[in-house]
């Protein structure tokens, strides 16, 4: 016998869910304070639960499962705390969990006294595996347990008038349960509860352990609804993530007609967790669905929840991971660099958000482009140019990008790790602004127009050349060419000025000028680049020339 084998199909005919797009958000129920909390190595304290509850409310959850009051004093106290201090907003429905054990119902209901309204959620395992081998019960026993539990809830509820109670039932291990039995037991629970006209019972159909592919979950949800007799049911999902497919399962099962989804932030929950509501909700938002939840402050939410649970999300966790809006590799960086500059135009062209390698706008979830492009040995010129432009406001000409990318790559290979933006700048400075082992340094430069021919510029310069102070003079028809003419009197290889570009940094009157120069060694045609800064554009240019000449001398 093989240890693992194919899982039998559900046996649905004419399934409709694959052709049913999601156009409307389901009801969301956050079960972080129950399923999430029960799976934490250190369960949340009362204070921590309060903070967590407030975050869930702020995000916009209207249904929040707050705990298992019969399980522990902490859970009981938290329930009392919310009710006694009237901390539950009018438009929020809390729910509590209890097993199908009448002995635990009274404590559960007593914990809810004075609540204006609440959902009482009870569960019993219905799979053959669990029912027979854990609970040791027959199918008939399970019917009786449900009857007894519903009656106990009704009885306790009647003592707590005028609080209004709603019912939720979970056939635990639904996805491993014979579907006809699941339908029968759910119809039975609704019949026992006898909901008032217009009232509905939540049937929460859990993938307690993810034992099937997402398509099977969707099939089961569609078929369950076809078979259910009652018309007073809300179909709810509760997917676990053992195969890593909980988001996909839930998304397909919503297509299959589920009205409500239970899950947790970051998928915090038993084993590999519950469905991650952040991913699921933002996936629907990405599909244009109005989800009713607000994750615009997601990074602060992430930070607080990580502290509470002591479990920060993985760096690649969809939407929230620290690396999900970062690109290290050259072709990704190039594409992002080019397209973020014209993101509005792209939006016009495609009629929706579209940027290569970025499926949503990070700004929508409180993130920025700031760390989007990160540098290592996989990076290319586009990304590196992006860093220099973003951090230092300097637009690198293409030929400089090509030259500089090689230098940064050599540096990254030498250090064998990610290169910080400060290091990128240091490489830039050493390459083009203050080259190491400089033989030439500029002490002073005085350009002045000729008295008789003001279009002619006289250049007087003082330099330190190979340790000696030298004064040089020359004239030409511009301040830069006059400077070059003076410099050429030194014993340096002959060169020509190839490129001269200038830009300004900042937009005030005191903005600094930045010049980019390239010179070519006439003998071997090698090109050398220099950059210079100054508040005066001519002074910036001659500093760039000095840097380029130093590179030529260091050849």
Ligand X SMILES: CC(C)C(=O)C(=O)O
The DSSP call for residue 98 is E
Tell me the CA distances in angstroms from 117 to 5, 91, 442, 497, one per residue in order.
Answer: 46, 10, 81, 81
SS (H, E, C) 164-177: EEEEEEEEECHHHC
Each residue of 385-414: b (16+ CB within 10 Å) or e? bbbbeeebebebeeebbebbbebbbebbee
Contact pick of 123, 193, 428, 528 for ligand ACO (by CB under 6 A)? 123
Contact pick of 43, 69, 99, 313 for ligand ACO (by CB under 6 A)? 99
**Binding track over 2-41 against ligand ACO, x by CB under 6 A:** ---------------------------------x--x---
Q: Torsion-angle region of residue 476: left (phi > 0), alpha (psi -120 to 50) or beta?
A: beta
Nearer to ligand ACO, 212 or 520 (CB): 212
Provide, rounded to whole angstroms, the least separation between the CB of residue 32 and ligand ACO. Answer: 13
Nearer to ligand ACO, 145 or 472 (CB): 145
Q: 445 with 483: CB under 8 angstroms?
A: yes
* Residue 517 structure tokens: 């120069």
Report helix, strand or coil for 28: strand
Binds 38: which of ligand ACO, ligand X, none (CB < 5-8 Å by kind): ligand ACO
Q: Does 210 bind ligand ACO (CB under 6 A)?
A: no
Q: Does 169 bind ligand ACO (CB under 6 A)?
A: no
Q: Which residues contact 23 (CB under 8 A, 6 or more apart)?
A: 289
Q: Does 215 bind ligand X (CB under 6 A)?
A: no
Provide, rounded to whole angstroms, the least separation between the CB of residue 145 and ligand X. Answer: 14
Contact pick of 135, 346, 347, 464 for ligand ACO (by CB under 6 A)? 135
* Residue 395 structure tokens: 């637009």
Site residues for ligand ACO, 55-94, by CB under 6 A, read 68, 70-71
Q: 66 with 34: CB under 8 angstroms?
A: yes
Q: Torsion-angle region of residue 217: left (phi > 0), alpha (psi -120 to 50) or beta?
A: alpha
Determine the interface stretch with ligand ACO among 95-103, 182-190, 246-254, 478-486 (rule: CB under 6 A): 95-103
Site residues for ligand X, 230-269, by CB under 6 A, read 238, 240
Q: Does 204 bind ligand X (CB under 6 A)?
A: yes
Q: Does 100 bind ligand ACO (CB under 6 A)?
A: yes
Nearer to ligand X, 208 or 333 (CB): 208
Q: Does 379 bind ligand X (CB under 6 A)?
A: no
Given the rule CB under 6 A, which residues bind ligand X? 35, 97, 123, 170, 172, 204, 206, 208, 238, 240
């Amino acid at each position: 016998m093989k240890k693992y084998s194919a899982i039998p199909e559900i046996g649905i005919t004419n399934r409709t869910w694959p052709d049913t797009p999601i156009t409307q958000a389901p009801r969301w129920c956050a079960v972080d304070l129950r399923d999430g909390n029960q799976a934490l190595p250190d369960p949340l304290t009362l204070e921590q639960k309060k903070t967590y509850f407030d975050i869930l409310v702020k995000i916009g959850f209207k249904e929040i499962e707050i705990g298992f009051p019969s399980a522990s004093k902490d859970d009981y106290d938290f329930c009392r705390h919310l009710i006694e201090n009237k901390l539950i907003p009018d438009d929020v429905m809390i729910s509590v969990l209890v097993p199908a054990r009448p002995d635990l119902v009274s404590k559960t209901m007593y914990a809810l006294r004075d609540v204006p309204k609440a959902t009482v959620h009870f569960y019993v395992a219905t799979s053959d595996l669990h029912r027979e081998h854990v609970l040791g019960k027959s199918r008939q026993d399970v019917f009786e347990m449900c009857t007894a539990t519903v009656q106990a809830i009704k009885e306790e509820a009647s003592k707590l008038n005028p609080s209004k109670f709603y019912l939720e039932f979970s056939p635990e291990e639904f996805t491993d349960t014979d579907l006809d039995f699941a339908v029968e037991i759910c119809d039975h629970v609704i019949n026992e509860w006898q909901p008032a006209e217009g009232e509905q019972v939540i049937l929460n159909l859990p993938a307690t352990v993810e034992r099937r592919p997402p398509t099977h979950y969707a099939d089961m949800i569609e078929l369950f609804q076809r078979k259910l007799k009652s018309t007073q049911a809300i179909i709810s999902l509760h997917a676990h993530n053992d195969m890593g497919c909980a988001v996909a399962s839930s998304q397909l099962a919503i297509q299959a007609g589920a009205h409500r989804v239970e899950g947790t932030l970051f998928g915090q929950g038993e084993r590999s967790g519950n469905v991650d509501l952040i991913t699921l909700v933002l996936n629907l938002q990405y599909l244009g669905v109005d989800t009713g939840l607000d994750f615009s402050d997601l990074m602060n939410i992430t930070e607080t929840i990580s502290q509470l649970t002591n479990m920060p999300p993985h760096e690649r966790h969809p939407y929230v991971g620290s690396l999900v809006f970062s690109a290290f590799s050259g072709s990704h960086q190039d594409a992002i660099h080019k397209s973020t500059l014209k993101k509005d135009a792209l939006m016009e062209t495609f009629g929706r958000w579209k940027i290569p390698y970025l499926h949503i706008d990070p700004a929508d979830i409180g993130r920025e482009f700031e760390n989007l492009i990160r540098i290592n040995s996989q990076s290319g010129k586009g990304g590196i140019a992006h860093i220099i432009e973003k951090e230092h406001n300097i637009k690198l000409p293409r030929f400089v990008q090509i030259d500089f990318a090689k230098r940064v790559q050599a540096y990254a290979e030498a250090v064998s790790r990610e290169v910080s933006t400060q290091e990128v700048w240091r490489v830039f400075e050493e390459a083009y602004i203050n080259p190491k082992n400089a033989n030439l340094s500029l002490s002073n430069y005085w350009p002045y127009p000729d008295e008789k021919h003001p279009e002619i510029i006289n250049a007087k310069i003082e330099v330190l050349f190979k340790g000696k102070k030298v004064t040089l003079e020359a004239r030409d028809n511009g301040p830069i060419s006059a400077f070059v003419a003076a410099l050429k009197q030194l014993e340096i290889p002959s060169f020509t000025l190839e490129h001269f570009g200038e830009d300004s940094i900042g937009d005030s009157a005191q903005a600094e000028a930045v010049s980019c120069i390239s010179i070519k060694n006439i003998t071997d045609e090698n090109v050398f680049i220099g950059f210079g800064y100054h508040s005066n554009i001519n002074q910036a240019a001659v500093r760039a020339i000095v840097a380029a000449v130093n590179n030529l001398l260091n050849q």
